Every structure is written in structure tokens, then in C-alpha cells.
Chain A
Amino acid sequence: MTKLDSVRGTKGDVVLDVKGLRIRAKSKAGWAEIVKGIDLTLRRGEILGLIGESGAGKSTIGLAALGYVKPGCRITDGTILFAGEDLSELSEAELRRLRGVRIAYVAQSAAAAFNPAHRLIDQYTEVAVVHGIRDAASARAEAVELYRKLHLPNPEAFGERFPHQVSGGQLQRAMVAMALACKPDIIVFDEPTTALDVTTQIEVLAAIKDVVRDFHTAAIYITHDLAVVAQLADRIMVLRHGDLVEEGNTRQILEQPSADYTRQLLGRDPPKSDTTTASQKILTVSSVDAAYGSIKVLHHVSLSVGEGTTVAVVGESGSGKSTLARVVTGLLPCSKGALMFDGRSIDSSLRRRSLDLRRRIQLVHQMPDTSLNPRHRVREVLGRPLTFYHGLMGRLRTARIIELLEQIELDLTFLDRFPEELSGGQKQRLCIARALAAKPDLIICDEVTSALDQSVAQGVLRLLMDLQKNLRVSYLFITHDLQTVRAIADEVVVMNQGRIVEQGPKDEFFAPPHHPYTQLLLTSVPQMDPDWLDSIRETRAALARAMSLA
């Protein structure tokens, strides 16, 4: 083929050698060490997985491989050897020669990493042309070829589009192409699929795997999802609080993890709930249509939530599941259909709902960071609904706040803290407690665990289940994560493009036969098996062949 496929160096050479890396970050209390003496060797043609929860220092290490530290951070010790030079001692100008050319970076959010004002192909060629490696014409030709390799639709014309004209998965692949533009020795992938739907994630993973193999590039793959990294990595480093927990071959880590922490990360089976069936319906949504302006997002949606049960609404982004939540809360009045709450018909507009009705339906948002006012202390966050709905004041109010804090397993010391002094999981618990303060009958949970680390999310799920058992509160649980559904749901509703494609009890949902879309969702969840990606691709290819034959 072309020179694109020529290989620099041979497989197995050490390309990056990090020794005793220590990085400090400036905080209010002084300098805190966030990377505590990490050794790392990367060989050509190898993918190294860095895995850990937030705060593990994995992104910081990934960026350090480019000789870069975030503002407010500083490399205090250690060497980062690349091609015989210590990146931690090179000047900015020298580093700029390397970055993008010999060491490339693929960020988590491709949408934020692309300049929206330029065409994709121009952004691709920029790196190569600026560094004087290729002229514009040959860089363009290469781009088209790479787009083809990455299975992007219509590769000749693809690059002429602007970032907003392609889908998230395509954009992420375009970014992988961009990283490959100068045939780098190392690519650092920083959670490239985390923001994507499961069905899209597969395409991106497959593309990355192929490209890295074909180009004999070394890669560092950063993620919090062990099942994802299992598909790609040859070796895995498990990190926690800036320390190495363990390191080993992918299979070895998956099959015989030596550290407890790794086992904990592996143990993905979340808490299981017994399915309960309710006699009484608390919420009934019947054939609801809803639209944002002229764009119709919900078509004929009907579902019901039984008293003290959990209905999970599953779907990918754009399926209309969050819109459904807005309709039930009254934020978005529906254009057709009716809502029933506790046996009575209710107004679809929030403005006309009574205070008592508002109290009985509470919403917990996805992002705890934006759903807590940064200027309100825990005491005020919980106290306001108590005063507002129940007229509690003074000592009675404080007593009830403490009671609520106990319910979410936080102690008294939290009373006077601001949200920024809480961790992500604690913030989400606080949001749940705020909803509970109203003494609601129905809590709508909109992706409440998707912004949290795996183990923290499981804690929040368990809390929600305990609360349901004790308080008989019902949940309308909106999520894209099927593990969460397995954990918490009594009934499952699958949505796709604003319509309900399947609904029924959880056991039926997880047992075949499936609706084709449900099938697609279920099989797209990465498994803890290094061969899963290849096998699923084979199955799908076979399926596609069969369909084209038929």
C-alpha cells in the first residue's frame, strides 16, 4: 500500500520509559502528591491500560507521557525517557516538536477537542503541515485513507464536514485519525469511549484496536472501565490514589488478580434486588407526545409505576428518556396524552400543579455538581424543603436534617459544609436526601449514577434500594447502563428514538427472546473477557452478511 504502513523501529523496542515519576498538585492546603513514584515501560506495538477510579492519577500520568502537566501541577521527581531524552527537562519549544508528531493524545470529549469552525480534514492536515512533515495535498490523501481504515462513512467526503455535522462516535474516530496523522510512536488515549453509547463504543474500540495493530504504534489507554481495557490492552496497570496497585498481563489481571482492590474493580456484579410487584399504581403515563418547539421527541409513550417499585427507563442518548422525566415533573408539558398520579389526573404543566403535588414528585439530577448550589451549606440544602413543605423550623428542623443525613450515611460533621467540600458520591447522596426531605411518593432518578465511579455508584444504588424498602418510595429510574438496571429495576422500559420498543418485568427483559434493539443493547455491553470484542464483531459481521444475502 502506501508509506502510511511503513513502520518506524521494530516491535518490542522500549519507546517510553518512566522512572519514579512524582507529580504534585497545588491545593488550598499546599502541595499534595497526586502521582507517587510510578514506573512505566511502554514497548512498540503494545497497548498499556491504565485503570483506576477518579483521583487515581491516571490522566495525569497519561499527560506526563507527553511531557505535559496541567496548570497548578509540577513534576517533582523522576524521569520520562522518550527516544533518549528526558521529557521532564525539555523546554516547551522542544516538547512542541514532539507533541502531535511523535507522541499524540486523544481526549475524552472529541466534541470539545475539535475546533467547531474548521472542517475535520483541515484540522487533520494542520499538525502534519505545521510540523513540515507533509504537504497539504499528501496529508489530505492520507486522511482519506485513514478515514477509510477507521470505517468512517464515505471517507472521500467525510473530512469536508464540520465537527457538528457528524455523530459522537464518528467524531471520536476522526480524532483517532488526527492522532495518527504524523505516525506517532506513542498515542495516549484518555477515556476515548466514556462519553459514548454502548453501541457506538464498540465501533470506536474496534477502530482503535485495528489501527494500533496495523501501525505498530505504542499506546497508553486510560479508562475506569476494566471491561473496556480488557478488549484492547496487552498489559494493565491498576492505579489508586496515585499509587500502583498491581501490574500484569491483561489475562493475568482478569483471571488471577492479586490485589483486593483489583478484585473489587473486577467484581462488577452490583447489588441485586428482589422484584416486587405492586397492587397500586402511583404514576400512569398514557400515550404521551412531547415536543421541543417543532421537534417531536416523544411518540405515544405509555407506562406506569407501581407503588414502592422501580421502573427503569433504558435507552441511548437521544432516545427521549430524559424528556420523559421532564414531562412527568411538569417541566415540559406534554402536547398529547395524560398523566395520572395516585389515581387522580394531574396537570401536565408545572405552573398549575399544587404545592403538595410538587412535593410528592421529586427529581434527582444526573450531575450532582450542578444540582447543588455551591453557596449553600448542607444545612440549607436539606433545611429548605423541610421549611418550605413542612414548615419545620429551629430545633425540629435541625433534628430532621440530622435524621436525613443518617439515612444517607453521612454524619453530623457534614452539616456546615459546602458542596465543594464533598466527594462526588456524597454530593449525589445529598441530592437524594434533599428529595427525601420532601417526603415524596415518587422520585425520578435521571442517570443518578452515571457521573460516579463504579464502587461509589454501587453504594448509591444500595442506598436507594434500602430507602425504598424502608420508606416505600417509588422510583422512575432513567439510565443507559444495563448493569444498573439489573441491580435496581422491577420493571424495564426500553426506549429508542422517542418510542417505547419493549416493556415488562426485569426477568423477562434479561431473558430471551429479545426485541432486536434490546438485543443490540444487551450484547453491546463489554464483558470481562479479552476475546469479547473480537467475537462480537464476528457475530455482527456474520449477521450483516446473512442480512445482505437475504
Chain B
Amino acid sequence: MSTPADHSPPLNIAPADRPHRQDPGRFRALLAGLRQAPLSAWFGLVIVAVYVVVALFASVIAPYGEGQVVGSQFDPWTAQYLLGTDNLGRDTLSRLIYGARNTVGIAFLTTSLAFLIGGGAGLVAAVVGGWVDQALARLIDILMAVPQLIFALLLLTIFGASVTSLVSIIAVLDATRVFRLARAAGMNIAVMDYVEVARLRGEGLIWILSREVLPNILPPLVAEFGLRFCFVFLLISSLSFLGIGLQPPTADWGSMVRDNAILITYGDVTPLLPAAAIALLTVGVNFLVDWFLHETSGLDDET
């Protein structure tokens, strides 16, 4: 008996206009996605872009140097010092701009490191399973049992408040959260038949982790990256505010709030500006992450 339907079910016919070549197609899809993106996503994108530009070209944009004393203490807002000067007579605007570089840059570095450690360990735990999984998971539980800020304070007092120890300590502490997510998401993928096929074929662990599992849990990981970034950012600022984060004369938004806090009592809003910069970036990143998650999860609003 002949069954023509076998060779021509409705889904067989791919739309001719759909691009199958890799990059132009993806790029175009991205552009199309951007065009349809809601206002909030655009808002987030613009904010993040502005911060990145400011951070990268801080030395070009800033009118004065990072630690340069240019005026007297607590000068008001003038044409020369747009946002006045701080407690040592440094230009607040310049320090705000350099602060973007330092705080954002270090937060980004820390988050990346956290994802490398936590994501890697989480994937290994999910795919290998057994005692490896148990050992890693219990270790992470222990790390998570101590409140993060207090743990960070403790370790920083032990190891000293250098940038290296700041980055590595926060990265390790934050990696615990990433580990949990990567492990949970990875476990869902690790039970898939295609992972079994790869195992049957005799593929090594690295291949299974990087080619079979990782690409499928990328969307939640990227979204988590945005959120983690905000938390790390806030944590660094908090630590700086407490005086054991980035050390002077490095400009940092957290310590800038602390140094100039006294101005608030005189009704001056200048010390709130670094805080506002932190808040704005957090909001922007969250908008962007929300949109990304929505796009990649395949959820569509009911019409």
C-alpha cells in the first residue's frame, strides 16, 4: 500500500523564507526581537549601554582625575564642579564616573567568576550524580548556612581587603547560588534521552557537559547572571560602605555614600547620587533580564 502522507506530512514543508544559514539568520532574528521588545526592555538596554560606555571611557569622560583634589571640601554644585566636591575636595562627578568603572567592572568580574565556579560544579553534580553530587551539594549547603554578608565580612577581615580577595571571596560565596540553579536545571537535562545517547556513544564528561547539557540550560543561567550581578554589585557597595570593600582612593559608589553622608543633614542630595546610580542600574538590568527570560522561555501572553 502506498502512503504518500509519510513523505509529506504538513510539517515537512519548511517555509522557504526561513533562513537556515547560521549567523545572518540569528542576527536578523535578534533584531526582529529587539524591534518587538517592550519599552521596559529598551529602557533597561539603554541604561546598561550607558553604564558600559561610561565605565569603558571613564578617563575620557570624567572632567578630573579619580583621586585628584581639585577644590575645597564640600563645594556646592557649580559650573566648574557640576556636582560639587566631596569631603576631601575631589570632584564628585568624576568620582561617580570612575566609580562606574570600578564597581561595575569588579561586580562583572566577580559574577563571571561565580558562574564559572558555581555553574561548572553544578553541571558536574547534575551529570555525574552519585557521591560527587552529594559531596558538592553538602559542601554548598554548609557555605550557604552562614549569612552571606557576615561570612564575607569575616573572610575579608582574615584575608585583608584587597581587590583580589574581595573578588574571590564574593565569587565563591555567590557561586553557591549559581550551583543550585545549574544543578537543578542540569538535572532536568541529564535525564534526557539525548544525554543517554551521548553516554552510550562513549562521550567524555567534558563533551556531555559543554555540548549536550550546557546549551540547553543557558537561558535560565543568563537570566540568573543578570540578577546575580545586581546582588554582587549591591554586596560590594555594602562592603565599601562598611569600609572593607574597595579601599580609598579608589572611587566606589558604596564608599562615596558613606564619605559624604554628612551632607544629607544639610539638605544636600549629593550623597544620594551614587545610591541612585546603583538603584538605576539594578532596575535596568532587571528589566533586561525579564525580557530575555520571557523571550527564551517561549512563554507568550495569552491573547
Q: B191 to nearest A CB, angstroms?
A: 9
Q: Give the contact stretch, choosing among B12-20, B39-47, B63-71, B89-97.
A: B12-20
Asked if A458 contacts B3 (CB within 8 A), the reply is: yes
List residues of A (323-380) whose CB comes within 8 Å of B's CBs: 329-331, 350, 355, 358, 362-363, 365, 367, 370-376
- The stretch from A161-169, A249-257, A413-421 touching chain B is A413-421
Q: Is B164 an interface residue (CB 8 A)?
A: no
Judge whether B80 is part of the interface by a CB distance below 8 angstroms.
no
Q: Determine whether the beta carbon of B200 is less than 8 Å from that of A363.
A: yes
Name the residue of chain B whose CB is nearest to the CB of A384: B201
In-complex Cβ contact of B14 among A363, A417, A434, A458 (8 A): A417
Q: Is the CB of A241 within 8 A of B194?
A: no
Q: A370-B192, A373-B212, A375-B216 are in contact. Are A409 and B7 (CB under 8 A)?
A: yes
Q: Which residues of B contact A55 (CB under 8 A)?
A: 9-11
Please give me the residue from chain B that is nearest to A427 by CB atom: B11
Q: Which of B5, B21, B300 has the most CB of A within 10 A?
A: B5
On whether the beta carbons of B216 and A423 are closer than 8 Å, the reply is: no
CB closest residue in chain B, given A356: B202
Across the interface, do B3 and A434 meet the contact criterion of CB distance under 8 Å? no
Instruction: Report which of B7, B10, B14, B200 forms a contact with A241, defined as CB distance below 8 A.
Output: B10
Question: Do residues A422 and B11 form an inter-chain contact, with CB atoms below 8 A?
Answer: yes
> A456 and B15: CB pair below 8 A?
no
Inter-chain contacts of A413 with B (CB < 8 A): 14, 20
A29 to B17, alpha carbons, bound, how many Å?
Answer: 10
Question: Given known contacts A373-B194, A456-B9, is B300 in contact with A71 (CB within 8 Å)?
Answer: yes
Total A-B pairs in contact (CB under 8 Å)? 102
* A26, CB-defined interface residue at 8 Å: yes
What is the CA–CA distance of A331 and B18 in the complex, to the nearest angstrom? 40
Neighbouring B residues of A434 by C-beta, 8 Å = 197
Q: Are B216 and A374 in contact (CB under 8 A)?
A: yes
B15 contacts which chain A residues (CB < 8 A)? 29
Q: Any chain B CB within 8 A of the CB of A155?
A: no
A372 touches B20 (CB 8 A): no
Given A72-B303, A385-B201, the answer on whether A416 and B5 have CB atoms closer than 8 Å is: no
| B3 touching A372, Cβ below 8 Å | no
Q: Hey, which chain A residues are within 8 Å of B20, CB to CB?
A: 413, 415-417
- Answer whether residue B199 sits at the interface, using C-beta atoms and an 8 A cutoff: yes
* CB of A425 within 8 Å of the partner chain: yes
Interface positions of B from 84 to 142, Cβ below 8 Å from A: none
Establish whether residues A423 and B11, one from each chain, have CB atoms under 8 Å apart when the complex forms: yes
* Contact among B3, B196, B202 with A331 in the assembled complex (CB-CB below 8 Å): B196
Residues of A within 8 A of B202 (CB): 355, 358, 388
List chain B residues, Cβ under 8 A from A267.
1
Contact (Cβ within 8 A) A421 B5 = no
| CB closest chain-B residue, reference A459 | B6
Q: Is there an interface contact between A459 and B12, defined as CB atoms closer than 8 Å?
A: no
With A425-B6, A456-B5, A459-B7 in contact, is A350–B14 under 8 Å at CB?
no
A209 within 8 A of B: no
Chain B nearest CB from A346 CB (Å) reads: 14
Q: Which of B186-243 contact A (CB under 8 A)?
A: 192-194, 196-197, 199-203, 211-212, 215-216
- Nearest residue (CB) in A for B189 is A373
B residues less than 8 Å from A422 (CB atoms) = 11
CA distance A153 to B100 in the complex (A): 72
Alpha-carbon gap, A455 to B8, bound state (A): 11
Interface size class for chain A? 35 or more
Least CB distance, B117 to chain A, in whole angstroms: 24
Interface residues of A in 421-446 (CB under 8 A from B): 421-426, 434, 438
Complex formed: what's the CA distance from A422 to B5 in Å? 15
Q: Which residue of B lies closest to A446 (CB)?
A: B193
**CA distance in complex: A389, B202 (Å):** 10
Contact B6 A455 (CB under 8 A): yes
A37 to B230, CA, bound (A): 52
Q: Mark A452-482, 1 if CB is under 8 A from B, else 0.
A: 0101101100000000000000000000000
A288–chain B nearest beta-carbon distance, Å: 19
Within the assembled complex, what's the spacing in Å between the Cα atoms of A271 and B1? 7
Output the least CB separation between A158 and chain B (Å): 33
B22 at the interface (CB under 8 A from A): yes
Contact residue among B12, B215, B300 (Cβ-Cβ distance under 8 Å from A423): B12
Write the chain A residue with the least CB distance to B218.
A375
B30 to nearest A CB, angstroms? 14
Beta-carbon nearest neighbor of A357 in chain B: B202
Q: Contacts of A269 on B, CB cut-off 8 Å?
A: 1
Q: Is the CB of B300 within 8 A of A26?
A: yes
**What A residues does B193 contact at CB under 8 A?**
365, 367, 370-371
**Contact bitstring B263-281, A, C-beta under 8 A = 1, else 0:** 0000000000000000000
**Nearest B residue (CB) for A265:** B5
CA A29 – CA B196 in complex, angstroms?
A: 34
User: CB-CB < 8 A to A329: which residues of B?
Assistant: 200
B123 CB → nearest A CB, Å:
15
- Which of these, A350, A362, A417, contacts B199 with CB under 8 Å? A350
Separation in Å of the B66 CB from the closest CB of chain A? 44
Assembly CA distance A367 to B302 (angstroms): 29
Q: Are B6 and A350 in contact (CB under 8 A)?
A: no
Closest to B17 in A: A29
B5 touches A264 (CB 8 A): yes
Does A74 sit at the interface, judged by CB under 8 A?
yes
> Distance in Å from the Cβ of A401 to the closest Cβ of chain B?
15
B196 closest partner in A (C-beta): A331
- Collect the chain A residues with CB atoms within 8 Å of residue B3's CB: 264, 455, 458-459
How near does chain B come to A348, taking the closest CB pair, in angstroms?
14
The reply to whether B302 and A72 contact each other, CB–CB distance below 8 Å, is yes
Contacts of B1 in A (CB 8 A): 264, 267, 269, 271
Interchain CA distance A416-B24 in the complex, whole Å: 13
A458 CA to B4 CA in the complex, in Å?
Answer: 11
Closest to A438 in B: B201
A462 nearest in chain B by CB position = B6
- Decide: A74 near B194, CB < 8 A? Known: A375-B215, A417-B20, A458-B6: no
A29 to B19, CA, bound (A): 13
Q: Are B14 and A421 interface neighbours, CB within 8 A? A: yes
Report yes or no: B9 in contact with A425, Cβ–Cβ below 8 A.
yes
A453 partner residues in chain B, CB cutoff 8 A:
5, 9
**Selected contact of A371 from candidates B14, B21, B197, CB within 8 Å:** B197
10 additional A-B pairs beyond A373-B192, A459-B7, beta carbons within 8 Å, are: A26-B303, A264-B3, A329-B200, A371-B196, A373-B215, A375-B216, A423-B12, A434-B197, A453-B5, A459-B6
In the assembled complex, 10 residue pairs joining A and B whose CB atoms fall closer than 8 Å, in A order, are A264-B5, A331-B196, A331-B200, A371-B194, A373-B194, A373-B215, A384-B201, A416-B21, A421-B18, A459-B7
Residues of B participating in the A interface, judged by any CB pair closer than 8 Å = 1, 3, 5-7, 9-12, 14-15, 18, 20-22, 192-194, 196-197, 199-203, 211-212, 215-216, 300, 302-303
**What residues make up the interface of A, taking CB atoms closer than 8 Å to B?**
26, 29, 53, 55, 71-72, 74, 241, 264, 267, 269, 271, 329-331, 350, 355, 358, 362-363, 365, 367, 370-376, 384-385, 388-389, 409, 413, 415-417, 421-426, 434, 438, 453, 455-456, 458-459
Nearest 10 CB-CB pairings of A with B = A459-B6, A423-B11, A371-B193, A375-B215, A455-B5, A416-B20, A373-B194, A365-B193, A455-B3, A370-B193
